[in-house]
């Protein structure tokens, strides 16, 4: 929870910001100077020797749904320590992200985590470097 949240904020809770990258994911709260955590974009499954990448564009939707559900659960309940039903969500994604990934992520956030508001910011500045 942001330190300044209880100090006259009018009851409005700050939004969760998630930047899902292929290698690392950054997450934190809007208005803070930097991300709360930067973690590898992988999940570990029992019985598999290597971790599974969460941001994959070439797998079927049900597998992607399962991976995203588990990964976002880790973000909310291990790193951010907030209830997803109480917070708006801003997701930053690449301009090259396919629509099926965005649709699956939307389904996970609305149906499984029941977030009140979800906003996608398409990041394209890296293409001009």
Domains of the chain, first to last: 16-123 (3.30.420.40)
Q: Report the alpha-carbon distance of residue 71 to residue 108 in Å, rounded.
A: 11
Q: What is the CA angle 47-53-59, rounded to 5?
A: 95
**Could you report the per-residue pLDDT of 43-100, keeping only the tens digit for each?**
998 888 899 999 888 899 999 999 999 999 999 999 999 999 999 999 998 888 888 9
Full-prediction pTM beyond 0.75? yes
Q: Report the alpha-carbon distance of residue 115 to residue 112 in Å, rounded.
A: 9
pLDDT at res. 65: 95
For 17, the enclosing helix (H) or strand (E) is strand 16-20
């Amino acid at each position: 929870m942001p330190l300044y949240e209880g100090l006259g904020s009018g009851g409005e809770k700050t939004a969760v910001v998630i930047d899902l990258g292929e290698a690392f994911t950054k997450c934190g709260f809007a208005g803070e100077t930097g991300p709360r955590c930067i973690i590898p974009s992988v999940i570990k499954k029992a019985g598999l020797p290597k971790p599974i990448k969460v941001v994959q564009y070439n797998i079927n939707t049900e597998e992607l749904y399962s991976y995203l559900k588990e990964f976002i659960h880790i973000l909310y309940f291990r790193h951010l320590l907030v209830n997803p039903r109480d917070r708006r969500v801003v997701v930053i994604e690449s301009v090259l992200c396919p629509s099926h990934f965005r649709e699956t992520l939307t389904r996970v956030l609305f149906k499984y985590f029941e977030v009140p508001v979800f906003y996608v910011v398409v990041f394209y500045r890296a293409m001009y470097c």
